[in-house]
Amino acid sequence: MRFTVGTRTKGVEDWTYSLEFDEEAGELFLHTERFGLGDDHSEGRVPLRSAKNSRGYRYAIVFLKEKLGPPTA
């Protein structure tokens, strides 16, 4: 299951950030795709807990807070 959490354009590159839940592993992953000119394309996937210094991490956290709502006591 994957949800797009953010996009950005930098020069001629388009970036898409998605939050992916792996049911078998029971873990959230940050999936990043980069599209450049022509056939230039790359993608990667890292556990969300290891992505703290990534731009996509901020998008994922905002998405989770919006979907889960405020913490309850």
pLDDT band at 72 (very low <50, low <70, confident <90, very high): confident
For the domain that residue 34 is a member of, what is the CATH number?
3.10.450
pLDDT band at 73 (very low <50, low <70, confident <90, very high): low
Structure-block tokens of residue 5: 């959490």
Q: For residue 31, how many other CB atoms are within 10 A of its CB?
A: 20
Paired with 33 in beta bridges are 16, 43
Is residue 13 predicted with pLDDT exceeding 70? Answer: yes
Domain with 24 in it: 2-66
At 24-68, the pLDDT tens digits run: 989 999 999 999 887 888 999 999 999 999 889 999 999 999 998
For 48, the 3-state DSSP assignment is helix
The total of structural domains in the chain comes to: 1
Asked whether the beta carbons of 6 and 59 are under 8 A apart, the reply is: yes
Instruction: Identify whether 71 is part of a domain.
Output: no
pLDDT recorded at residue 64:
92
pTM for the structure as a whole: 0.82
